Amino acid sequence: MMILRRSAKCSWMSRLHDKKIRKILVIGLPYFAEITAKRLSVFDSTCKYIPIDSSANIWGALKFAVNIWNADIVYMIGGSATCGGALRLSLLLRKHIIMHWVGTDVIEAKKNIQSGNSNKKLITYARHFCDAPWLQEELHGIGIEASLKYLSCIDNEPKIEPLPPKFLILSYVGKGRESFYGIEKLIAIAERFPQIPIEISTLETYKHNLPKNIRLLGFVPSLKEKMKECVLFLRLPEHDGFPFTIIEAMEIGRYVAYIHELPGVFKPNTKEDLFEYIEQLYAKYSIGLLEPNYSGFEYVRNNHSAAGVIGNLMQSLKVQNDDK
The pLDDT of residue 320 is above 80: no
Q: What is the pLDDT of residue 181?
A: 95
In Å, how far from its chain's centre is CA 90?
23
The pLDDT of residue 17 is above 50: no
Mean pLDDT comparison of 52-61, 149-158, 187-196, highest-scoring range: 187-196
- DSSP assigned state of 169: E
In Å, how far from its chain's centre is CA 190?
28
The string over 156-174, giving b where at least 16 C-beta atoms fall within 10 Å of a residue's C-beta and e elsewhere, is: eebeeeebeeebbbbbbbe
Q: What is the pLDDT of residue 7?
A: 44
Whole-number percent of the chain with pLDDT over 90: 85
- For the chain, the residue count is 324
E strands, 174-324, where?
198-201, 214-218, 232-235, 255-258
This prediction's pTM: 0.87
Mean pLDDT of 80-88: 93
Interval 219-268: pLDDT, tens: 998 898 999 999 999 999 999 999 999 999 999 999 999 999 999 999 99
- Beta bridge partner(s), residue 200: 171, 216
E strands, 168-290, where?
169-172, 198-201, 214-218, 232-235, 255-258
How many C-beta atoms lie closer than 10 Å to residue 280's C-beta? 12
Longest dimension (CA), the chain: 88
Whole-number percent of the chain with pLDDT over 70: 92
Instruction: Check if the beta carbon of residue 213 is closer than 8 Å to that of residue 183.
Output: no
Q: What is the pLDDT of residue 19?
A: 52
Phi, psi of 232 (to 5 degrees): -130, 130
Q: What is the pLDDT of residue 1?
A: 36
Q: What is the pLDDT of residue 301?
A: 94
Higher confidence at residue 45 or residue 102? 102
